[in-house]
Amino acid sequence: MTTHILIADGSSLTVVGAATLLKERADTLLTTAENGDDLLRLAGVNQPDVILLGDRFDPLFETVALVERLIQAAPAGRIIVMGNTTDGLVIRDLFTMGMCGYLAVGDDLSTCLLTAVDTVLREHPYLSPTANAEYLIAMQSSSRDWKLDAEARAVLRLLARGCTVREIAAHMRLKRRRVYWVTEKMRSRFGATTNEHLISRAVGEGFMRLPD
């Protein structure tokens, strides 16, 4: 049975490297996406078995948003993120959203990629060595039970637009103390001391993009 793999990564070297490795796999069909819109279209039309997604694939799309929309477009597709961050809580959040595997870019693609694909096809999660170590450490931290959910991401986007706590509370129909609580949780989650630092960390890890 042929396995259809859709590759989406902003680095042409990564695409070429991944494609070269996957061509060695028997009964494998490869498709490459050019940008976020192309990726979502191809996922919907082709319903791939596996989607390899670079976390900096398209600057116009947040990684989290792409994962969520890919799950809607291709519910049976197993998503493997090839990520620059090794933050265990980021990896945990992506798993919570439906990601099936995570390859840290610092790990050797040649020793991890084929194993990752075969593992997620067997319906098991996969973490490359560095990602696995950081994930285990994160699961022992005091922040492990708090997730960057839709409410937190909405607050984050409004902070990035320069909104005040009062404006965010009014826009989201929340009490101001709730907005303060969510913001403080996010600062702790990202190890940030200010809102500017928080936004910078969130952008760097693919959870949001700066407004135009």
Confidence of residue 96 (pLDDT cuts 50, 70, 90): confident
Q: 167 and 133 in one domain?
A: no
Domain end position, chosen among 105, 138, 171: 138
Q: Distance (Å, rounded) from C-alpha 161 to C-alpha 211? A: 7
Confidence of residue 100 (pLDDT cuts 50, 70, 90): very high
State the residue range of the domain holding 166.
Answer: 150-204
Q: 166 and 74 in one domain?
A: no
Question: Is 173 a domain residue?
Answer: yes
Predicted TM-score (pTM) of this structure = 0.73
Q: 98 and 170 in one domain?
A: no
Q: Distance (Å, rounded) from C-alpha 61 to C-alpha 38? A: 12
Domain containing 157 — which CATH number?
A: 1.10.10.10
Q: Are 182 and 155 in contact (CB under 8 A)?
A: yes
46 vs 105 pLDDT, higher one: 46
Domain end position, chosen among 86, 106, 138: 138
Q: Is the dihedral of CA 175, 180, 183, 184 positive or negative?
A: negative
Domain containing 90 — which CATH number?
A: 3.40.50.2300
202: pLDDT strictly greater than 90: no
pLDDT tens string 26-65: 899 999 998 999 999 999 999 999 999 988 888 788 888 8
Q: Where are the extended beta strands (E) located within 45-199?
A: 50-54, 78-83, 101-104, 126-127
Using DSSP, state whether 52 is helix, strand or coil.
Answer: strand
Q: 19 and 78 in one domain?
A: yes
Tally of domains within the chain: 2
Question: Is 210 a domain residue?
Answer: no
Q: 132 and 162 in one domain?
A: no
